[in-house]
């Protein structure tokens, strides 16, 4: 598979010089909360010493703050117990204090009091003003999305879901952020990610709420997103999201190109899960070692090599048109079929069919692409053997089959990221329906799973952050749980019972248990984890539903 991935690497390098520059509007955003200014209360003074305090009644919860102090005279040797000094002017009259790690959380209705003692110059005790800057959140807004006038009426705004899912991937970016960054609470991070001999491995996506970069799920996510774009480009065009989407998948593709450092060498991971999971904070502030790992001829990894080849091939198709897994055979089938699409060389289709595994598919995930292979093999060969496997797979997945269902109608494959598996198979159902396999039945089933995630469930809540009714507010995601830079962030933010300061727009959380029970709790990573692979097939499936709506082909699923 290294030869295959090298071929696509060369194709992408050649084509890269012809890529148009993707332009997006730069949105300049500022803090949402108004600053609050009070006078220092002088508690006492003696000789040239003083004691004073600033008190701020709070109208909202805060998780981080900055205190700017202007004194009437020069002061020095200030002792206080709530913050760390961020700035002191040379004349000793202006100070900036940032809260300590354990002093950032304060509830609405309480008073934030900062008491201090110090030394003043001259004969008159100081007066002072203090301005409290709430660093909890930001004023990030999402531009109104374009909804095509000709679109069939839908229960949910699919165009808005597309827009916000793309924003989620922008929040996952690692490396030097572009000038058009739309996520105000994100900055440059992991700028020293490198391989042997200092090879540049900056960029790509952080995998989930943590900060490891895993090549296999990242490449899988790129492939799934590209697949949906290739099949349902009109959905992105008419919702005004095409350029954002192209910019979105170009980011990880550029990183994957960097990872292919030699013909038989591919870097597949940056960061170590142990130290990384022992850190709760922003990627911008990471200080732990970030080792890199690669596969070679002597240390092979056909699964990740195959998926990376598939991602490169899918990326090539897109732009010319405008951790190890448990098994690797499905990855070679997957890579072969994508290489065939990119090159039209029959040998790759033969490779895909050689690695085809017959029977009902377990599901679809970064660890198992068998169902995706069925759909694409049938598309390009029209061999009924692959169609029969698709039919058998959905016989198992639909009600009455072998897959259990929650009382509210969620196909429940596994508890960890339950929604992911349901919507992943929803995508395959939409692809199969487009190939003429039970179109109404498969589309209606897919709609039931996607709509469950969007709000049609016993809790009557959306499971997409920042979308719909009562969406999750506490996803298990470090960066969005932190206050604005430069306020510190640590484990207090992880255990904070309030909402995340920043809305992680578009992120699909893991979801409920098999009884439709869900609690919006950041500490419950089974139900509240978010990840690049969770959103990949989900976003593509939403694009499929949007395109059906644009074509007025959504089925009436009530009859």
CATH of the domain at 117: 2.60.40.290
147 part of a folded domain:
no
Mean residue pLDDT of the chain comes to 91
Residues with Cβ within 8 Å of residue 100, at least 6 apart in sequence: 82, 83, 84, 488
- CATH code where residue 320 lies: 1.50.10.10
Say if residue 80 is in the same domain as residue 114.
Answer: yes
Among the listed residues 268, 277, 271, the one whose alpha carbon sits nearest the alpha carbon of residue 306: 268
Catalytic residue chosen out of the listed positions 210, 529, 533, 547 = 529
What pLDDT does 143 receive? 85
The predicted pLDDT at position 331 comes to 72
Cα torsion 5, 8, 14, 16 to 10°: value is: -90
Assigned domain for 501 exists = yes
pLDDT, position 14: 38
Q: According to the model, what pLDDT value does residue 558 have?
A: 86
Q: Is 51 a catalytic residue?
A: no
Instruction: Tell me the per-residue pLDDT of 184-203, one tens digit each, with 9 for 90 and over.
Output: 999 999 999 999 999 999 99
pLDDT for 25 equals 28
The verdict on 367 and 501 lying in the same domain is yes
Q: Which residue has the tokens 């354990």?
A: 102
Q: Quote the pLDDT of residue 19.
A: 37
Domain ranges, residue 43: 36-134
Same domain, 9 and 41: no
List the alpha helices (DSSP H) in 232-365: 233-238, 242-259, 273-277, 302-320, 329-343, 346-354
Question: Is the preceding peptide bond at 486 cis, omega within 30 degrees of 0?
Answer: yes
230: closest CA among 313, 139, 299? 313
433: in domain:
yes
Helix (H), strand (E) counts: the chain: 17, 12
- How would residue 330 be classed by pLDDT, with cut points 50, 70 and 90? low
In angstroms, rounded to a whole number, what is the distance separating the alpha carbons of residues 535 and 530? Answer: 8
Q: Is residue 31 part of a domain?
A: no
Q: Compute the average pLDDT of residues 9-15.
A: 42
Regarding whether 305 and 196 lie in a shared domain, the answer is yes
Can you tell me whether residue 368 is helix, strand or coil?
Answer: strand
The predicted-structure confidence for 434-479, as pLDDT tens digits, reads as follows: 999 999 999 999 999 999 999 999 999 999 999 999 999 999 999 9
Within this chain, do residues 199 and 295 fall inside the same structural domain, yes or no?
Answer: yes
Active-site choice (237, 327, 520, 524): 520
Q: Which one of 476, 493, 502, 547 is the catalytic residue?
A: 476
Indicate if 529 belongs to the active site.
Answer: yes
Report d(CA 107, CA 204) in Å as an integer: 37
Q: What one-character-per-residue DSSP string does 467-496 give? A: SSSS--S--B-HHHHS-STTS---HHHHH-
Query: Three-state DSSP class for 278?
Result: coil
Query: Residue 356 in contact with residue 331, Cβ under 8 Å?
Result: no
Based on the domain organization, do 85 and 179 belong to the same domain?
A: no
Distance (Å, rounded) from C-alpha 91 to C-alpha 85? 15
Number of compact structural domains in the chain: 2
Q: Specify which residues 265 forms β-bridges with.
A: 262, 296
Same domain, 82 and 115: yes
The pair of structure tokens assigned to 137 is: 């959140």
Q: Hey, CA dihedral for 420, 421, 426, 432, is it positive or negative? A: positive
Helix (H) or strand (E) holding 265: strand 265-270
Q: Please check the confidence at residue 144 and state whether its pLDDT lies above 80.
A: yes
- Do residues 125 and 77 make contact, with C-beta atoms less than 8 angstroms apart? no
Same domain, 438 and 472: yes
* DSSP-assigned letter for residue 239: T
CB atoms within 10 A of CB 127: 13
Question: Which stretches of 158-214 are DSSP H helices?
Answer: 158-171
Q: pLDDT at position 328, please? A: 55
The pLDDT value given to residue 240:
95
- Asked which of 82-91, 144-153, 255-264, 528-537 is least confident by mean pLDDT, the reply is 144-153
To the nearest 10°, the Cα dihedral for 478, 482, 486, 487? -130
Same domain, 202 and 101: no
Q: Is a pLDDT exceeding 50 seen at residue 136? A: yes
Q: Pick from 13-27, 178-192, 324-338 the range whose average pLDDT is largest.
A: 178-192
pLDDT digits (tens, 9 = 90+) for 27-76: 333 334 579 999 999 999 999 999 999 999 999 999 999 999 999 999 99
Could you confirm whether 520 is annotated as catalytic?
A: yes
pTM for the model stands at: 0.90
Retrieve residue 66's tokens.
Answer: 């900055």
Q: Is residue 235 part of a domain?
A: yes
């Amino acid at each position: 598979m290294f030869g295959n991935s090298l071929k696509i690497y060369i194709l992408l390098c050649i084509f890269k010089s012809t890529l148009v520059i993707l332009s997006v509007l730069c949105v300049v955003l500022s803090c949402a909360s108004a600053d609050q200014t009070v006078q220092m209360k002088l508690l006492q003074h003696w000789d040239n010493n003083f004691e004073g305090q600033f008190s701020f009644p709070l109208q909202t919860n805060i998780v981080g703050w900055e205190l700017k102090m202007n004194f009437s005279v020069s002061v020095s040797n200030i002792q206080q117990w709530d913050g760390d000094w961020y700035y002191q002017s040379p004349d000793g009259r202006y100070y900036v204090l940032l809260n300590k790690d354990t002093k950032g959380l304060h509830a609405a209705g309480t008073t934030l009091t900062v008491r201090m003692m110090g030394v003043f110059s001259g004969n008159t005790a100081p007066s002072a003003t203090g301005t409290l800057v709430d660093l909890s959140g930001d004023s990030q807004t999402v531009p109104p999305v374009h909804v095509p006038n000709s679109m069939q009426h839908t229960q949910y705004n699919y165009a808005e879901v597309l827009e916000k899912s793309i924003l989620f991937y922008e929040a996952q970016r690692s490396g030097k952020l572009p000038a058009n960054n739309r996520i105000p609470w994100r900055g440059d991070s992991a700028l020293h990610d490198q391989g042997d001999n200092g090879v540049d491995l900056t960029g790509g996506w952080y995998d989930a709420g943590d900060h490891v970069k895993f090549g296999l799920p990242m490449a899988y996510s790129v492939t799934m997103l590209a697949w949906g774009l290739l099949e349902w480009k009109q959905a992105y065009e008419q919702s005004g999201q095409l350029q954002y989407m192209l910019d979105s998948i170009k980011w990880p593709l550029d990183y994957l190109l960097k990872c292919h450092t030699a013909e038989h060498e591919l870097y597949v991971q940056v960061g170590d899960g142990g130290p990384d999971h022992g850190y709760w904070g922003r990627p911008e502030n990471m200080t732990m070692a970030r080792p890199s790992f690669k596969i070679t001829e002597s240390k092979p990894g056909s699964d990740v090599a195959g998926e990376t080849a598939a991602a490169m091939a899918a990326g090539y198709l897109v732009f010319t048109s405008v951790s190890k897994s448990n098994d690797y055979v499905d990855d070679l089938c997957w890579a072969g079929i994508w290489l065939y699409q990119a090159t039209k060389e029959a040998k790759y289709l033969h490779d895909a069919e050689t690695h085809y595994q017959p029977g009902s598919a377990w599901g679809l995930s970064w660890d198992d692409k068998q169902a995706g292979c069925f759909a694409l093999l049938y598309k390009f060969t029209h061999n009924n053997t692959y169609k029969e496997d698709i039919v058998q797979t959905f016989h198992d997945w639909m009600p009455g089959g072998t897959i259990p269902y929650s009382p509210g109608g969620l196909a429940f494959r596994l508890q960890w990221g339950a929604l992911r598996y349901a919507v992943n198979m929803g995508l395959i159902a939409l692809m199969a329906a487009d190939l003429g396999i039970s179109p109404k039945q498969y589309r209606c089933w897919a709609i039931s799973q996607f709509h469950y995630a969007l709000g049609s469930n016993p809790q009557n809540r959306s499971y997409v952050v920042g979308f719909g009714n009562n969406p999750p507010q506490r996803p298990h995601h470090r960066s969005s749980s932190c206050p604005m830079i430069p306020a510190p962030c640590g484990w207090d933010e992880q255990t904070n019972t309030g909402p995340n300061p920043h809305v992680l727009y578009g992120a699909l959380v893991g979801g409920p248990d098999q009884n439709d029970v869900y609690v919006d709790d950041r500490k419950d990573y089974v139900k509240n984890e978010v990840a690049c692979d969770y959103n990949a097939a989900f976003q593509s499936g939403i694009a499929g539903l949007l395109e059906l709506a644009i074509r007025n082909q959504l089925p009436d699923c009530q009859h």
